[in-house]
Homo-oligomer: A and B are copies of this chain.
Amino acid sequence: MYHFAGNVLIEDEFLRDGLQNEARGFSVAEKLHFLAGLEAAGVRRIQVGSFVHPKWVPQMANTDEVFASLTPKPGVTYTALILNMAGLDRALVAGVKHLSISVSASETHSRKNLNKSVDEARAQIASILERALAEGIAVRAGIQSALGCGFEGQIDPARALEIARSYGEIGVHEVNIADTAGLANPVQVYDLCARVREVLPAATALSLHLHDTRGLGMANMVAGLEAGVRIFDAALGGLGGCPFIPKATGNIATEDAAFALAEMGLTTGIDHRALGALTREAEITLGRTLPGRMAHIDTGETA
């Protein structure tokens, strides 16, 4: 049986995993506005954007400028995603102190996403990770499609375990297991997290990136908690995934996760009502309702 206590860190990815799929680009000022809202609501790690080629993800083209314009708030980590050495170069110029980079555990996903085999991607990432660590960057290394692949279906957990072990050997600060397509179930999440934990050095943190495609996002988060995970990715409003799919299948919503964690006795430092208000602002900006629940529920009297 489970009882939970202590702190949980939520990394909000609204500005990256959320906005990267939106047809509407966000200006630097707009991104700074939502960044300030996330900070004010108590979010302690914010993925500000990604350093990827603007040809592929034009929504992230102003990431350098956003970093240059933001005033770091004490206690908040500002992170970004990179895919290659060029991205690391840009991140270093921007003065970013925390970075995420990942490979896919799925051969097909890796080839579609990076035009590289998993082994090629792993070889490339190793040198990027080593350089980033040598530069004093806090590095999070991810395993995409670790719990299933939209192209291949089930993925042998041995693949994720082997990648996690190599990340541990390189000395990354955190390993991130990503249910990129939202295909995981709680039993699987518990099993993989528990097994990955066993192959990682004690000092290496383990985090989970969850999507709510099949309505199992919160259940998978709880399974992660049971396996000892205390860092979760989420996105304001549950943004993310493809906006052209009905019942948009985004990330778990930061405010929903923060609320559920608090209800279960865990501390995130996040004011879910403040995030709910920010989600309703985002909905006006985006012109549609987002999938998160708490932004649409009055919890005034009976929360």
On A, residues with C-beta under 8 Å from B are 1-4, 148-153, 181, 183, 185-188, 190-191, 194, 212-219, 221-223, 226-227, 245-247, 249, 253, 256, 259-260, 263-265, 289, 292-294, 296-297, 301-303
Name A293's contact: one of B3, B214, B253, B289 (CB within 8 Å): B214
Q: Which B residues are CB-close (under 8 A) to A149?
A: 302
Enumerate 11 A-B pairs (CB-CB under 8 Å) in ascending A order: A149-B302, A153-B303, A213-B293, A214-B260, A214-B293, A214-B294, A214-B297, A215-B215, A215-B217, A215-B218, A219-B222
Report the nearest B residue to A152, measured CB to CB: B302
Tell me whether chain A's interface is mostly helix, strand or loop, or mixed.
loop
**Is A265 a contact of B213 with CB atoms below 8 Å?**
no
Given contact pairs A253-B215, A256-B214, A194 touches B1 in the complex (Cβ within 8 A): yes
Report how many copies the assembly holds. Answer: 2
Name A219's contact: one of B4, B218, B227, B294 (CB within 8 Å): B218
Given contact pairs A214-B256, A219-B221, A246-B289, A187 touches B264 in the complex (Cβ within 8 A): yes
Report the nearest B residue to A264, measured CB to CB: B187
Q: Nearest Cβ in chain B — how far from A275, in angstroms?
A: 14
Name A297's contact: one of B2, B249, B265, B294 (CB within 8 Å): B249
Q: Which B residues are CB-close (under 8 A) to A215?
A: 212, 215, 217-218, 253, 256, 260, 292-294
**Is A183 a contact of B302 with CB atoms below 8 Å?**
yes
Q: Nearest Cβ in chain B — how far from A259, in angstroms?
A: 7
Given contact pairs A260-B216, A289-B246, A294-B214, A150 touches B187 in the complex (Cβ within 8 A): no
